[in-house]
Amino acid sequence: MKLTKTQQDVIKRQGSSLVIGAAGTGKTACLVGRVAYLLKQNTPPEDIYVAAFSLRSLRYLQKQVEDRIGPNVAKSIHIGTFRDFATKAMTQDGNELPKIANYVQIRRLLGSAMRDADFKGSVGEAEHIIRQFKARARRPQENERHYNLLIAFKNFMEQAGLIDRYDLLRQHIVGMANGSFKPCPMKHVLVDNLQDATEIQLYWLFEHLKDGAQISAFGDDDQCIFSIDGAVGADAFSMLQEGFDGDEVQRILLQESFRQPQALAAASSKVVAGLPGRVSKKAKFLNENKADVRTKMFDNIQDEYQWLRHNVTKLSQKYPKCKIGILTRTEYQALRVSHMLEQGAVPHTCLATGIWDTPGAILVLDMLSILLNTATDDQLRNVLTGEGLNLALVDNLFANGLIAKDWLPQGAHLPKGVDLPTTTLQEYSILQRRLVGYYQVMQEKVMSPRDVFKAAAHDLLQHIGPDDRRDGLMAIEKLSSLKGQLREILPNLRKRKPLDMDKIIFVAPIREVRNQEFEFVFMPMSNANVYPYTGSKALGVDEPHEKRMFYLGVTRAKRGLIFTHTGRKSTYVEDITAAFNA
């Protein structure tokens, strides 16, 4: 791509800059180009830090940098999240950090906190609420809604000796202030999608800029899709400039867009045009190709899936060098579409969190490990708490000698000397009889191992929340379709497979495709209750957030945009098609 004069100025600027541009104006190209320019100016690669806010964006950005400067040089550049950088800085002198909670541990502790706080929403909603609290720089107030949920979660985390990514950044900020931790030795920091920074992340960043690091930040507030988790959107731009008296960070606007033709871009911009606090972005659209926007309605979801699989396959055969994106509102929808494509043997890359990385699916795999007598203590702990046993009780059992090895073959007995209240003992005895019964049936081959596993897993899923149960059911479905012995399949399922970014067809939740573009974009399940998403009971509908999410999806399309739906279609779809056809 030939760079414009403004883009060249961004890349070669001496000093800090804040680069704002609409979708398709080349922000990612400028970021990657600036990395290459700094290296050309003999900047040591280890002085360069490139930051992103999500794993998929990070991997995409890393590939772009590697393609530009080569993988060997890219290895010496720090490419990661703020958490990655803080962890490395805090441990460089041999310091030991508290253990950072993983996704499963957070979900397990959240479940306990939800019960303590009598929280009626889903575990997914509870996650967003906790993130909103922890993303802030100021201390929460006792009179704030859901404060009791936050305190319950913090107490459970402390009891478990765990911290999360927000706690880590706070500890690093405090440590840099009192001298107990060193800052990251960055000379140049390039931040992608600054609008998705939280207050605590910005404060961490400012501590490094005080030490003389130069920043090149890139963003578009119209694409702020993590406000539900505490991202500050357009406020990040003003905070960055105000932090330096407004004169040390130059604001640069990219005003030439290369992605969408005029008609499609104008229709897309209608979605976010009236949002409050929006930064005005004028753009000249240079793509002169003809665009196409279509909608198609179906009687049921299975017909929609079949049509989608047939037409995506047909389009990929007609245009074998053009990338095709299938973008969904939620993670689960992307997993369902990916599963549908797998059943039809359609090659693709799925950018959703892998089903085997979701808490519900991990719980199912842990149950299988127990039945096969290959479980670790952590896996047994996960199943026992998943079955509904009190977290403190389970911790006490392990503290008193409970171990996973041969636990089920030996009768799933309690450790010696452990006395339980009568009611709790009855609950444990019921669980003990059930699991031992399943194990004996498997050993005696009264039923096939797969049928025993499915029965045990379905029993287990009755005790967990609807979000995790849904993922667990999909895991059972996928595992049941795999060929081979369960004992041989299990280790491979737990391995994280690298993403193939060279595929033609991509399936992803919308939030995972920033920085990317596709010749054709399919947006299935564009129903009225999906855009805006109405499935949140505790959080309600955040209309600006929903419009930005939808806008992010439609602005990935370079040529064709296809909406499919069952029932009434989203008003967002109606608005964009009306604007395009006007």
Helix (H, G, I), strand (E, B) or coil at 254: strand
Could you write out the DSSP letters of every residue in 137-186? SSPPPTTSTTHHHHHHHHHHHHHHTEE-HHHHHHHHHHHHHHTSSPPP--
Tokens of 5: 């004069």
Residue 89 confidence (pLDDT) = 94
The number of residues in the chain equals 582
Residue 318 confidence (pLDDT) = 96
Looking from the CA of 481 toward its CB, the CA atoms found within 13 Å total 9
Tokens of 476: 């059972």
| 118: region left, alpha or beta (phi > 0 left; psi from -120 to 50 alpha) | left
Does the bond joining 347 to the residue before it have cis omega, within 30 degrees of 0?
A: no
Residue 410 confidence (pLDDT) = 95
Which runs of consecutive H residues, i.e. helices, occur in 273-358? 301-318, 331-343
Tokens of 549: 């999410």
Residue 136 confidence (pLDDT) = 95
Residue 408 confidence (pLDDT) = 96
Tokens of 406: 């041969």
Tokens of 300: 């049921």
Low-confidence ranges of the chain (pLDDT < 70): 1, 244-247
Q: Which of 276, 328, 269, 243 lies closest to 575 in space, CA to CA?
A: 269
Residue 1 confidence (pLDDT) = 65
Residue 245 confidence (pLDDT) = 55
